[in-house]
Structure 1
Amino acid sequence: MRTRPLTTRGAACLLLGVMLCIAANVLAARALLYLGVLLVVLPLIALLVVRAPRRRGEVWRQISTDLLAVGETSKVSVRFELYAPGIPHGRWSDTLPEAVRGDAAGEYPGETRLLHYELEGVRRGTATLGPLLLRTVDPFGLAQRVQSFGETRMVTVVPQVHALAPLPTKVGAAGGAAQTRSTRLGQGADNLIPRPYLSGDSRRRIHWRATAHRGSLMVRQEEEEASPDAVVVLDRAAARWARPGDGVDPAFEAAVSLCASAALCFVQDGYSVDVFDSAGSLLGALRGHEDDRDGLMVALATVTPRGEPRDLRAIIGGTPPGPLVLITGAIGADDAARLSTAGASAPMLIAAGARPEALVVAAGRGWHVAALHATADPADAWEAAMPRAKAPHG
């Protein structure tokens, strides 16, 4: 960061001194010469006072949350140890990236070496926090010095998660009895009995810990027989989204936020959840562990529109899930006609910028459809697309 060595006051003092020296020579006024020399020398002495001392410092940062969500506030504590002759007076400020905002500045020195400020996530992604800047001035405010201290700290801003209503039990049941959901809530994959992998088993049922322990592929036997699965697909195909340069696409941001919200909603309701992108890449597999959630949120923090979409049947595999949520962008009627529900018991299609006829075509193919608006609450689109349990006859 380049900063002028003299403040505005110091530059004015120097300029005035030079003008007085010139005037003293023209008018032969010795008093003006003395005053001009004094005004020229003062900023130079101030520069020497401010910039001569050798300083070094160490910075430690602690953020109250490992992952900062868009719209969420986190507290940052900064310990600043400055090693310098005397105690300089000035202002400190922490360098903030565009992904976050906060009032990261204050007077130095304060009551303690511990500095505090609040940080708010404003844009998805990874960003660098720091370095810490210290701006000091001389007692007369003529010269200034800005120094940077400490290492930078990476901060990850993850999508905002919205509270969504759970699906009715009957429409979400698949792969076994729906009532088993309540007994699995909060349990992890370690409670399931693994068995050897057989040809045709879904890769979503692989028990990775048992596989690593035994040295051969193992799958979750009980989950395959009696637990519901849910699949969330985020269509990130480049053709679906507007990309004006490097700007942020509000529709895509709303889609990513809904993707995270839907996956976590299913987990809280007892489902095993797999989150894919439209190319078939696994963004996250949620089995009730906190690490699974964090892994998905980190993956969604950096996801961008790119690539071409694949057929949903190829992404999901041969085992139809219970709920299937496809979150997509601007699709036409031809695109909707090619969307297969892959045998899901509760297929939901939520589209941002889709043409009305596309939603009509998708509904005719068995999808429960809704439009996603970038400026509206994603929970409204979720509610509109939610399938309803049929009332019993009789």
Structure 2
Amino acid sequence: MREALAGLTVRGRVFLAAGVTTIVCAVIVGQTPLVRVGVLVAALPLLAALWIGRSRYRLALTRTVSPQLVAAGQTAKVELTLTNEARTPTGVLLLEDHLPYVLGTRPRFVLEGIGHGWRRHVTYQVRSDVRGQFEIGPMSVRVTDPFGLIELGRAFHTTAPLTVTPRTVALPGIPLGGAWTGSGDNRPRAFAIGSAEDVTVREYRRGDDLRRVHWRSSARVGELMVRREEQPWQSRATVFLDNRLISHRGQGIASSLEAAVSAAASVAVHLSQRGYAVRLVTASGEDPGTVWHSRSASVNTAPLLEALAVVQMENSPHLDTAWLAESGHGGLLIAVLGGIGDGDGRFLNRLQHHAATSAVIVLDVDAWAPHLAPSGTGATSAALASTGWRAVTLRPRDHLEVVWQELGRLANRQKVDS
């Protein structure tokens, strides 16, 4: 009852004040009929508070988001199922689901009283032009009486995740190249007669399947050893994304970083569909969720897109090189670069040295902020081409699929020259 009285709305307080005032004035002027009117007006919010206070609400909420992984600009459906598990019916329910501002305005719904065991289903759609991982919820519920005199707040603390991935475009098929290597080991070997498993073992490397650990050899040597397994050959590709703050210009979804992330996502999806085992590397190093050995034989681009959905600016002025020592040699490398300074030349040389085939998409970052002074760090495709890269330039008005075809023409030109 005390909580219900504390939940008096403005209308309820006005009714209570008007009833008390009417009673006092009626007593002063001696108008008995007005006393009855004042008692009725003042009793309405008190009776509503008594009814709300004696009610026992046991509400259950189930929230479903489908799909949980959408591309920027696409919509997802949120379905709410509200159940009354108490024996008494509820009053009028005012529902408000909390959303991040990028997903739109908070949806509000009004439901009439729900009886015992009844359910109500409510659906709405969310859409974001900004990539990222978001939490939908929690839900706040306000219970009110039919006259709107009392309003009590309830809250559900559960939330549901939604991942918005970068926009991707379909890329045409072009000559890519790259070393074809066995997914069991990084060098081809003939199958053993009668078995596809080698009898030899080697030391454990990061990303190896733990099911391949040879425990007897590990106990003898004192460190993890894995069996050399020969599996169907598979081409490997590394997508490198330079996401440093000093390498990009512009703000928000119109920045060069967003264009670079979208380009890297399009390339990663295209290579996965072409049968490549793709991993993602950013300025801070290799993403652990996209290592080669964690990829299945089926095309599954969700780990790559989820990793790119949360890529943020890196404040470090230097590019991480630790992953190069562990990656070995060979494979296809596609780099998506912003502005490159003079100090990055050594890294780019090492990057090219560790790849069998290397190509780069260079963003003209100054074109994303023409009102600002030139950054002076923009790497040109011509400069990189002189060092052996297949290099093309991407500008704000360029179509990625056209730039991608230009990479294919460069590959054909190199074949003719060779």
- 1:347 offset after TM fit, Å? 1.0
State whether residues 58 and 80 of structure 1, in contact with CA within 8 Å, keep that contact through their aligned partners in structure 2: yes
Match of 1:368 in 2: 391
How many residues are paired up? 366
Match of 1:154 in 2: 160
- Listed as ranges, the matches of 1:339-354 within 5 Å are 339-340=348-349, 341-342=352-353, 343-351=355-363, 353=365
Give deviations 1:74-119, integer Å, cap 9, x for gaps: 3333332212312433333433344544875434258962524244
Distance 1:27 1:380 in 2: 90
- Counterpart of 1:314, as a letter, is L
The corresponding residue for 1:126 is 133
In the superposition, relative to structure 1, how do residues 40 and 313 fare at CA in structure 2: closer, same or farther (>3 Å)? Answer: closer
Contact 1:273/1:285 (CA < 8 Å) preserved in 2? yes
CA displacement at 1:232 relative to structure 2? 0.2
| Number of the residue aligned with 2:379 | 358
Q: Aligned partners of 1:51, 1:379: CA distance in 2, in Å?
A: 64
- Single out whichever of 99-108 and 269-278 deviates more from structure 2: 99-108
Is 1:143 equivalent to 2:146 in the alignment? no
Q: Which of 175, 193, 203 is residue 179 of structure 2 equivalent to?
A: 175
Partner of 1:259: helix, strand, or coil?
helix
* One of 301, 317, 320 as aligned partner of 1:310: 320
Structure 1: which 5+ runs fail to align? 178-191
List per-residue Cα deviations over 1:125-183 (Å, max 9, x = no partner): 3333333333332122222223224x5133141413413314412xx112249xxxxxx
Residue matched to 1:257: 262
- Alignment of 1:86 with 2:108, yes or no, is no
* Aligned-partner Cα distance in 2 for 1:14–1:166: 73
DSSP-derived class of the 1:163 partner: coil
Name the counterpart of 2:212: 211
Alignment-mate amino acid for residue 135 of structure 2? T
Q: TM-score, normalised by structure 1?
A: 0.73
Structure 2: any 5+ residue segments left out of the alignment?
1-5, 182-195, 219-224, 367-374
Match for 2:137: what amino acid?
Answer: G
Alpha-carbon distance in 1 for matches of 2:132, 2:72: 10
Query: Structure 1's 8 and 367: CA in aligned 2 closer, same or farther, altered over 3 A?
Result: farther
Percent identity (aligned):
24
Alignment of 1:167-246 (within 5 A): 167-169=173-175, 172-176=176-180, 208=209, 211-212=212-213, 216-218=225-227, 227-241=234-248
Q: Deviation at 1:383?
A: 5.2
Partner of 2:274: 269
Superposed displacement of residue 267, structure 1: 0.8
Whole-angstrom distance in 1 between the partners of 2:405 and 2:50: 67
Relative to structure 1, the CA distance from residue 158 to residue 52 in structure 2 (aligned partners, 3 Å threshold; closer, same or farther) is: same
1:319 aligns with 2:329: yes
Paired residues of 1:333 and 1:358 also in contact (CA < 8 A): no
* Corresponding residue of 1:285: 291
CA 1:174–1:50 in 2, change beyond 3 Å: closer, same or farther? Answer: same
**1:59 and 2:61 aligned:** yes
Confirm or deny: 8 A CA contact 1:7 1:141 kept in the other structure: yes
292, 305, 310: which one aligns with 1:297? 305
| Kept after mapping to 2: 8 A contact 1:280/1:310 | yes
User: What corresponds to 2:185 in structure 1?
Assistant: none
SS at match of 1:217: strand
**Higher gyration radius (CA):** 2
Q: Which residue type is aligned with residue 177 of structure 2?
A: A
Partner Cα distance (1:22, 1:48) in 2: 24
Change (3 A) 1:259 1:217: farther
3-state SS in 2 of match to 1:230: strand
> Contact 2:241–2:337 (CA<8 Å) still a contact in 1?
yes
Task: Please give the alpha-carbon distance, in whole angstroms, between the structure 2 residues aligned to 1:194 and 1:127.
Answer: 46
Q: Distance in 2 between matches of 1:237 and 1:145?
A: 49
Deviation of the 1:300 alpha carbon = 3.0
